[in-house]
Amino acid sequence: MRGPGHLPQLDATGRAPGPGLRQPATFTYTFIDSTPALGADARRSDQPGELAGGPAGGPAGGPAGGPAGGPAGGPAGGPAGPLPWKDREQSFQPPNSAGFAPLSGSGSRRRASYRLRDRLRVWQPNIHQKLCGRCALGGAVGVELVGDRARYQGLATCGSVWSCPVCSGIVRAARAEEVQKVVGWWGQDRVLLLSLTVRHGLGDDLRKVRKGVAQACRYLGQGREGVAIRALWDHQIRALETTHGANDWHPHLHLLLLLPAELDAEGIESMRVRISARWQLAVERALGRRHVPDDRHGCDLRPCRDARYLAKLGLELADPDTKQASNGNRSPWEIARDVAQWNHPRDIALWQQFAEGMHGARMLTWSRGLRDAAGLGEEVPDEKLVGDDQGDDVAERVAVLEPAEWSVVCHVPGASAVLLDRVEAAARRARAGGVPLVPEAREAIARYLAELGAVEARAG
C-alpha cells in the first residue's frame, strides 16, 4: 500500500512513521565490525537492547558489562583503554557510541554524506532537514539512472547549504563550477581574494554577528571613499563562512575581486590599506566598536594563484568526514561529525546554534550583471539544484521501492547511499556484458534488500 503524500509527524527519535511504514521502535541494527559498508556488515535485531552491546575492544560494553580492553565496560569489563574521541576539555564517555561504525573511512563521498545526514537527523532543529532524503512524498520511492549515476525520485529534500551534508555537497559542487567558469573567463591573474573579519567573543549571537558582517560589507561601498574603493574592481563574488573556536562563532567574508588590470605586490598592499581603513569604519557602524578588528587581522588581500580560492569560498569538494578548519578552530562539519559519533550535549548545542543562526543566510552573492556577462544566466535556487526536476530528460527508471522496502533502507544510517552504489555497479556490469540494464539493477536491489532484512525481497 502506498503511503500518503503529505509530510508525516515525527516521533521522539526524529523518524517519520506512517501507513505502510515499519514502526522504527520494533527493531534496531548492530554494526558487526568497523567498516562503513552496509549490507552483510549490518544485521537486523529484534532485541531492543542489542545495540548497547559493543564489539570486543569497543568503546562500551553491553548491559552485562563490556569486554576487556574497552575504556568503559560494565561490571565484567576489563581495564580502561585509550580514548578514541577528541578531548573537549572534559572527560566523558560518548553516549550511544557502542556498536557504531566510524564515520571516516568511507569508500565514497556520497556514502559519507548520506551516513552523516542520517545520524544528524534527530538533532536537526528544522523539520525540512529532519525529513530530507527520508520522507517519501508519494509513498513509493523511485530509483533512476542518469548516465552512470543513480539517484532517488520522490523524496523530500531541504536544499540547505549549511546544515545538510547531502544537499550542501550538491549545491557547493554546482557553485564551484560556476565560480571556476567566471575566474577562467575573466583571467585568474586579474582576480584578488579579499578576506574580511570582525572581532568576536564568547556569548556573541551568531545570527546577529553574521548579519552585522553582511551589513558592514554593504557599508564598505558607501560614501565618497567607499564608492572610490568599490570602483577599483569591476565585479565581485562574495562568500560567507563560519567556524567555531575558543572565542565562539566566527562568521567572516571572502570576496573574489575581478580587477580591470593586474596589480603588482605594491599595488595590492596599497589597495588593502585603503579597504582595511574603510572596513573598520563599516564594522563600527554595523556592529559597534567592540567588534572592530585591527588592521592586521581584519583585512587580507592576496592574488588567486591557484584553485585554493575555492576552499576559501567554502566550495572545495571535500568529504564532510575530512573537512577541517585551521588555527585550532572547528568547521561546522567537524562539529557535525562529532555530534554524529558521540552525541555529546555540548556539540549538539553548538550544531543547533549553527543551524539556527545560519538559516536563511546566502552562502554566495554575485555582483549585479556578473552572471549575465559571464554567460551563466539566471541563478538557479539551491532548492531547485537538489530537487527531482533538474531539467534532464535522460533519467531512466529502474525500480520503485514500496513503503515497506524503503522503511527498511532509510532506518539504517548510510544504507540509501549503498543501494545507489549497488545500482551503479549493476549498470556497469550490464553495459559491459551487453545484457539488459533494468533487470540487472533490480536484481542488485533485491539482493541488498534481502541483506538488510526486508519483509519482501524484490524478485529480479
Q: Where are the alpha helices (DSSP H) in 6-162?
A: 109-120, 127-131
Residue type, 289: R
Q: In terms of DSSP bridges, do strands 235-245 and 248-258 run parallel, antiparallel, or are they unpaired?
A: antiparallel
- How far is residue 375's CA from residue 184's CA, in Å, rounded to a whole number? 12
The pLDDT score that the predictor gives to residue 389 is: 60
Q: How confident is the model at residue 326 (pLDDT cuts 50, 70, 90)?
A: low
Going by CATH, does the domain composed of 169-317+363-374 fall within 3.30.70? no
- Judge whether residue 152 has pLDDT over 90: yes
Residue 412: all three cell numbers together? 539504517
In the chain, % of residues over pLDDT 90: 62
The pLDDT score that the predictor gives to residue 390 is: 54
Strands of 246-379, DSSP E: 248-258, 299-303, 364-366
379-420 pLDDT tens trace: 999 999 998 665 555 788 999 999 999 999 998 888 999 999
The pLDDT score that the predictor gives to residue 74 is: 38
Instruction: Name the helix (H) or strand (E) containing 396.
Output: strand 396-401
- How far is residue 403's CA from residue 412's CA, in Å, rounded to a whole number? 15
pTM of the model: 0.74
Q: Are 414 and 108 in contact (CB under 8 A)?
A: no
Long-range contacts of residues 214-218, Cβ cutoff 8 Å, at least 24 apart: 214/240, 214/253, 214/361, 215/286, 215/287, 216/279, 216/282, 216/283, 216/285, 216/286, 216/287, 217/253, 217/255, 217/282
Q: How confident is the model at residue 325 (pLDDT cuts 50, 70, 90)?
A: low
Q: What is the chain's Cα-based Rg?
A: 25
Q: Which residue has the higher pLDDT, 347 or 106?
A: 347
- Judge whether residue 71 has pLDDT over 60: no
The pLDDT score that the predictor gives to residue 107 is: 44
Residue 68: all three cell numbers together? 576487556
- Judge whether residue 99 has pLDDT over 80: no
In the chain, % of residues over pLDDT 70: 71
Q: How confident is the model at residue 26 (pLDDT cuts 50, 70, 90)?
A: very low
Other CB atoms closer than 10 Å to residue 169's CB: what's the count?
A: 22
CB hemisphere CA count around 431 (13 angstroms)? 9
Residue 343: all three cell numbers together? 552525541
Q: How confident is the model at residue 324 (pLDDT cuts 50, 70, 90)?
A: low
Q: Are 249 and 206 in contact (CB under 8 A)?
A: yes
Q: How confident is the model at residue 453 (pLDDT cuts 50, 70, 90)?
A: confident
Q: How confident is the model at residue 365 (pLDDT cuts 50, 70, 90)?
A: very high
Cell 534496531, residue?
Answer: 28
- Judge whether residue 36 has pLDDT over 50: no
Region at 159 (left for phi over 0; alpha for psi -120 to 50; beta for the rest): left
Residue type, 13: T
Q: Are 352 and 201 in contact (CB under 8 A)?
A: no
| Polymer length of the chain | 460
- Judge whether residue 269 has pLDDT over 60: yes
Q: How confident is the model at residue 191 (pLDDT cuts 50, 70, 90)?
A: very high
- How far is residue 370's CA from residue 374's CA, in Å, rounded to a whole number? 6
Q: What is the mean pLDDT of residues 322-331?
A: 68
- How far is residue 239's CA from residue 256's CA, in Å, rounded to a whole number? 9
Give φ, ψ of 434 to 5 degrees. 70, 30
Across all residues in the chain, what is the average pLDDT? 77
Range list for CATH 3.40.1310 in the chain = 169-317+363-374
